Each structure stands twice: as structure tokens, then as C-alpha cells.
Amino acid sequence: MTFLLLMALAAGGPEMSTIEPSALEGRPPPSETSPLQERVDAAPSGARLDVEPGEYAGDLVLERPVTLVGHGRPRLVGSGKGSVVRVRAPGVTVEGFDIDGRGGGSIDRDSSGIHVAAPGFTARDCRVTGALFGIYLRAADRARVERCEIHGIPGKEDGEKGSGIHVWNTQGFELIGNVIARSRDGLYIQSSSGGRMRGNLVHDVRYGLHFMYSDDNAFEDNVFEDSAAGGVLMYSRRLTLRRNQFLHNRGFASVGVLCQSCEDSLAEDNVLLDNARGLFLEGSRRNVFRRNLIADSDAAIVLFDSCADNRFEDNAFLGNLSPLTLVGRRTDTSFDGNFWSDNDWPDLDGDGRSDGEYVLSSLFDHLRGNLTAGDLLVRSPAALALAAAERTFPVLEAVKAVDHRPLSRLPDLSRLPVVHPRAQRGSLSGMTTSLGLLAVGVTVLSRGRRR
């Protein structure tokens, strides 16, 4: 059983795989139709329809390009048998509504608060509750979803509900400033390229961000926290991760960011704090990780020997139980030029580099990476004895991962985002204090060496 399957099972959801959309829902019968349907059908293409406060029961189908604007947050309450709003025409905008799916519909029919199957759609300032999928974008090129709130259905298992925002076969999409909680996955992106995700907050889901076969996407300034995994990135190329926060993702098999078969991607200026595993890399090649903070993790990096040509530079690794868990017998990943809080080598010439190499992996960490129960022994006398034996008898070393030029001072972390307020708890305050004391100590020490 692979780690990926273990992670899916631990999170209570199905095994990771691509998810094909079902057949499109058509028009509901008259008994399940919204009273707004007649107004929409009578409006000319390009019209703006202003909707007064109130509750509108029934499902609504938009089959011509219109702009639907709610005033005073009117409530669209679905029939409970399908998607509440069904967009089937290009150039539709839905803004300012509360949308209630009443907990009904079918996961097999992609029942959603808003289901979109046309290009050029915009959702703005909407709140979706009680829907299996929050907003579903199906072949909806150039869609934009901004400042929406999506809350999954309480009491349902992950396998019984869909994602907060589900994107399938959609190019050039934008997801900006949304808040998602308690859905299966927060942002699920499949077979979709050229997307931009910025300023979203996702918490208490299975995977905050779930990518499948989606190239050339960028996500920046997002927060993914309190989930089984912050980000699960699979079979995708040329991704850009910048100034995101992956916080407090803990559990039996939890990770901050998992990369499975990802290539030619860049992760910079991200914060990975208090995750069971900070980064998990398998089958991934030619990726660059720089100026990231990885802290308070049980294992900062889990690295499979199926990875190649990855590079870590100018990162800060602080307070992790283990810097590296290596699964396999080789690695050609470069770790040169990072700061490690447990690096004991001095910097006698004051050039900002330690005078000795920092060895990331120990024999116990190698065994730990190949034994599921190894985490239970990470601070045990047996683990310490193995580490001592390794230093005394190098023949015991299974494989060696080394930072040849470790930093003696923290790198420039000024581009890091301010940690999200939801994370202001014990581990963050402790880490903030540690960072401050560490910076002061390193400064005093470096000044003393230059005298």
C-alpha cells in the first residue's frame, strides 16, 4: 500500500484519481423551478437583472448571457434535487447572492450551488451552503470566482460530498479571495491550465489544494490549513507556488505540500509551519525550492529516490524533528545554501557560510523512511545510538544527503507572508519567539567572530 493511498484512507476520502464529470443537468420540472426563471427567460442577451431581497425557492437555469445582481443578499434556495444555479450560456455573471443547496442532489450528478458549463463566467460575492459541490466549473474557460464563501455540508463524510471549487477542463481561470471550509477538497483542479489562484483561505477540508494533470498554473498568497494536506500536486508541470501558507496540517499521513510526478515548478517565499511532513516529493524532477520557511514539522522533507534534479536554496529549516526522511538508496537533489537550525558548525571567517558540511540524513532517518512506524522512535535511545554509531562507523551510512555550503545566518525572509491570524496559537507564538532569538543570537555571534 503506497503512502498516497494511506493518506487518502487516513483522510476518510477515496483514493486519489481523476474525476470525470457526469452528464449535464437539464431544466428542472416546473414544480422545482425558481420564480426568477421567467424573468431570466424574458431578458435579452446582455441584460442586467437586479434581484430584490427575499427568498427564491427552486432551481434556476441561465441559458443566455445575463448579469444577475442581488441586492440585500437575496437567498436562492434550491429544490434539493440538483444544482441550484445552472449556467449554460457564455458571459454570465452572478453576484451578491446566498445560495442554499438544502443538502440535496447527487454527487454522481455533480449537484452544485453553481454549476457552470460555458465560458466567460463570473461569480462574485456569493455565499454557498448546503451544496455537495460549491461552484463547479466544467469546460468554463476564462471563468472567474472572487470573494465567494463556500461551506460544505456538516455531517457528511468526504466521499459523500464534492469540492468547494471544482475546476475541470477549464483554461485561463481565476480564483481570487475566496473562503472555503468543510468541503471534500478546497480547490480541485483537473486537466486545466493557465489558471491563477490568489488570496484564498481554505481550512478544515481533506486537501486544501488538489491538482491533477494541470500545467502552467500559479497560486499565490493563499492559506491552506487544518486539513489532511495543505496541497496535493500531481502529474503537473510548470507550477508556481509563491507566498502561500501551509499551516497545521497534521494527522497520520498529513503533509504541508505533496508533489507527485511534478516537473519544472517553482516554490518560493512560502511558509510551511507545523505540518506532520513539510514537503513530500515522489517522482518529481527539476523543481526549485527557494526562500521558503519550513518549521515545526516532524519531518521537513520526505524524499523518494524516484526524484531527480530538484534544487533547494536559501530556505530556512527551523525546529523540525528531522530535516530529511529519504525513501530509497540514492538522491541527486541539491540542498546547497540553506539555513538549518540544528547545524552545529561555526562560521569562523564570518562569510555567512558554516565551516563544515551539514549532513541532512542519518542512518535512522533512512530506516525511518522505509519503516511506517519509524516516527514513533524518532527521539528514542535507539535512534540516538544509531546516529552515534553512524558517526563512529561511516560504513553504516545507507545514503548521504549533504548541504555543502550551509548558511550560518537566516536568509532574507522579507518576502514571506505574514502568518494568517487563524494560526495565532501556541506553535506560532513559540516559533515567532524562536525566530527572534535565533536572529539575535546569530547576529551577536557573527559580530563576535569578526572582531
Do 107 and 154 lie in a common domain? Answer: yes
Give the span between the Cα atoms of 69 and 48, in whole angstroms: 7
- Mean per-residue pLDDT over the chain, rounded: 87
Do 41 and 178 lie in a common domain? Answer: yes
Instruction: Round the CA-based radius of gyration of the chain to a whole number and report it.
Output: 25
Q: Which residues contact 31 (CB under 8 A, 6 or more apart)?
A: none
Do 168 and 64 lie in a common domain? Answer: yes
**3-class secondary-structure state, position 377:** helix
Do 234 and 344 lie in a common domain? Answer: yes
CATH code at 41?
2.160.20.10
**Which residue, among 70, 28, 38, has the nearest Cα to 53 in the 3D structure?**
70
Do 195 and 65 lie in a common domain? Answer: yes
Give the span between the Cα atoms of 85 and 68, in whole angstroms: 11
For 402-427, give the DSSP string: EESS-BSS----TTSPPPPGGG-SHH
CB atoms within 10 A of CB 288: 15
Is the Cβ–Cβ distance between 96 and 70 less than 8 Å? yes
Parent domain of 340: 229-361+399-451
Dihedral sign for Cα atoms in the order 156, 159, 160, 165? positive
CA atoms within 13 A on the CB side of 226: 13
Q: What is the pLDDT of residue 166?
A: 98
Q: Phi, psi at residue 339, to the nearest 5°?
A: -100, 130
Do 301 and 339 lie in a common domain? Answer: yes
Do 81 and 150 lie in a common domain? Answer: yes
Is the Cβ–Cβ distance between 158 and 13 less than 8 Å? yes
Give the span between the Cα atoms of 201 and 221, in whole angstroms: 9
Q: What is the pLDDT of residue 10?
A: 52
**Which residue, among 128, 127, 114, 57, has the nearest Cα to 85 in the 3D structure?**
114
Q: Is residue 78 part of a domain?
A: yes
Q: Is residue 19 part of a domain?
A: no
Give the span between the Cα atoms of 103 and 81, in whole angstroms: 9
Do 48 and 165 lie in a common domain? Answer: yes
Q: What is the pLDDT of residue 47?
A: 98
**3-class secondary-structure state, position 325:** strand
Burial tier of 66 (Cβ tally within 10 Å: 0-12, 13-18, 19+)? buried
Q: What is the pLDDT of residue 426?
A: 47
Do 292 and 410 lie in a common domain? Answer: yes
Q: Is residue 366 part of a domain?
A: no
Which residues in the chain come in under a pLDDT of 70?
1-17, 362-399, 422-451
Q: What is the pLDDT of residue 376?
A: 45
Q: Is residue 357 part of a domain?
A: yes
Domain C-terminal end among 205, 238, 265: 205
Do 198 and 104 lie in a common domain? Answer: yes
Q: What is the pLDDT of residue 384?
A: 52
Do 103 and 56 lie in a common domain? Answer: yes
Q: What is the pLDDT of residue 328?
A: 83
What does the pLDDT look like over 123-149, one tens digit per residue? 999 999 999 999 999 999 999 999 999
Give the span between the Cα atoms of 232 and 229, in whole angstroms: 7
**What are the CA-CA distances from residue 5 to residues 15, 77, 107, 304 (Å)?**
6, 37, 22, 16
Q: Is residue 192 part of a domain?
A: yes
Q: Is residue 57 part of a domain?
A: yes
Q: What is the pLDDT of residue 428?
A: 46
Q: What is the pLDDT of residue 5?
A: 44
Burial tier of 49 (Cβ tally within 10 Å: 0-12, 13-18, 19+)? middle
Looking at the structure of the chain, the number of domains it has is 2
**3-class secondary-structure state, position 44:** coil
Do 180 and 294 lie in a common domain? Answer: no
Q: What DSSP state is assigned to residue 11?
A: T
